Amino acid sequence: MATLYQIYSPMDTLRRHVIEMKTTWQADDSILLLGDTAMFIDWFGEYLSDVDIRGVSAIYALKDDIDALPESIKSQIDLARFTDMLTDSDWVALCSSTRIDKVVTISL
């Protein structure tokens, strides 16, 4: 069983939220970056390394959140760093799967 961490964070609190996530992190947990947080995927990856979070099963973003970003920003995001872009129905299926036993939201 694993945890899905949902993170919604502006850039100025993202590192602190990664540090908070570390306190309960277990290998094979997954992460969903919500809203504008997906813009910070490169920094997020660095912060995971800085606080020594290992064994990330997947990093997701919601397709609607990515689509809502301005093209000038979206074109600068390395979307390949995400395991997948989830639709609402994908998110529901993931959260109700036997693989995920809890969802933790860390925000603002």
pLDDT given for residue 23 in this prediction: 93
Q: Residue for token digits 């809502």?
A: 68
- The tens digit of pLDDT for each residue in 16-45 reads 999 999 999 999 999 999 999 999 999 999
Helices (H) and strands (E) counted in the chain, each on its own, are 5, 5
CB 44, CB 15: distance < 8 Å:
no
Q: Which residue type is seen at 71?
A: E
CA atoms of 1 and 46, how far apart (whole Å): 26
CA atoms of 90 and 47, how far apart (whole Å): 27
Please provide the average confidence, as pLDDT, over all residues in the chain: 94
- Residue ranges of domains in the chain, CATH in brackets: 2-107 (3.40.1260.10)
Whether the model clears a pTM of 0.85, i.e. scores above it, the answer is yes
CA atoms of 85 and 3, how far apart (whole Å): 18
